[in-house]
Structure 1
Amino acid sequence: MMAPQQKAASPWRGQAAYNSTIKSNHSPIDALLSRLEGVKRTGSGTWRARCPAHGSKSLSLAIREADTGATLLHCFAGCTAHEVVGAVGLEITDLFPPRPDDPAYVGKAERRPFPAADILRAIGFEATIVALAGAAIIAGEPFSQFDKDRLLVAVGRINAALDAGGLNHG
C-alpha cells in the first residue's frame, strides 16, 4: 500500500504538480480563496480580499463565482487577472472548472455570453475613471504617468466589455 502524497509547505511557489492536485480535488474558487489574505465574504458567491499582485492593505480584489463554476476577479487598483493569479502561483486556467470529456467539446471554444448586468457594472466603474480624468482635464490638473496609464486601462476595459457583450462594432 502506498503512503499518501505529502504537500510542500509553500505549494504555490511554482509547483505545477500541486496546481493539478488542486484542480482535481477542489473547485476553482476554493483554489484561489485558499491562497489569498484578508478574504471576506460579501454575498452569495462573492468575496473581497487583499490583492496579492500589488501588496494591498485594503480589500481591493473582488472575487465572484460564476454560474459555470469559473472564478471571476477584478482588482480595483488595476492589476490584471494574470498578475493576481501569478502572485499566488496559479495560472488563468486554474480559474475555470475542467471541461467535460464529451467529444462534442474537443477542439471547440466554449462561448457563453456574459450577463448584461456584469458588463454594465464593469463599464460603469471604468466610465467613472474616465469621467474623473475628464474632470481633471477640464480643471487643468496635471496628469501623472500613472493617471495616463490608468485612463488607457479604463478605455481598454470598456472596449473589452463591449466586445464580450457583442456590442463593439469598430
Structure 2
Amino acid sequence: MTAPIDRVLPLLDGVRQTGPNRWIARCPAHADKSPSLSIREAEDGRLLVYCFGGCEAEDVTAALGLRMADLFPERPQYRPGDRAQEPRISLTDLVDLLAHEALIAYVAAADAAHGKPISNEDADRAALAAQRIRTAVDYARGYPR
C-alpha cells in the first residue's frame, strides 16, 4: 500500500517542507508562480490540501491525474465478524458517547422521579440510550489495553 503523501508529493513542483507533516508547493490547478498549495498529512494518513489561490481540492487532484480518494489511505477489506478488522473508535469518542447517552437516561429518570409524564417518544429515546450504553460497554470490554 502506498501512502497518500508518497503518491502526491512526487507529482508536485516546488515542494518544500514547512514543518512536521506539512509542505507547501506550487498549485498544479492554476498558473502558480510561487507556492500557494498547502499540504498536511493528518495522523490517520489523510492528506489535507488547500490552495491559497482559491482552487478546489478536486481541481488540484484532477490536475495531478488523481482522484479525491487518493488523498486517503487505503482501508483493508472488512469482513463482518472479524474482530481484528472491526472498525475502532477512539476512547475519547467512546467516553463522549457514553456521557451523552447517560445524560439522556438521567434526564428521563429524573423526570419520572418527579412525576413528570414521559411521552412515548421520550421513553423510546431513553430505551435507545440504555441500549447504546450497553453496546458501548461491551465494545469497551473488547478494547485492546
Deviation above 4 Å: which 4+ runs of structure 1? none
SS at match of 1:89: coil
Q: What is the DSSP-based 3-state SS (H/G/I as helix, E as strand, rest coil) of the residue aligned with 2:70?
A: helix
For residue 69 of structure 1, the aligned residue among 14, 26, 45 is: 45
Aligned-residue identity in percent: 49
Cα displacement (A) at 1:111: 9.2
- Where structure 1 has 5 or more consecutive residues not aligned to the other structure, the ranges are 1-23, 105-109, 113-170
In the comparison of the two structures, how many residue pairs are matched? 84
- Gaps of at least 5 residues in structure 2 are 81-87, 91-145
Distance change >3 Å, CA 75–CA 111, structure 1 → 2: farther
Q: Structure 1 residue 41: deviation in Å?
A: 0.2
Flag the 1:111–1:34 CA change in 2: closer, same or farther, 3 A.
farther
When Rg is computed on C-alpha atoms for both structures, the one with the higher figure is 2
- 1:15 counterpart residue number: none
Inter-partner Cα distance in structure 2 for 1:79 and 1:47: 17
C-alpha displacement of 1:99: 1.3
Alignment partner of 1:41: what SS?
strand
For residue 3 of structure 2, the aligned residue among 4, 27, 39 is: 27
Normalising by the residue count of structure 2, what TM-score does the alignment of the two structures yield? 0.54
Q: Which amino acid aligns with 2:79?
A: P
Q: What value does the CA root-mean-square deviation take over the aligned residues? A: 2.2
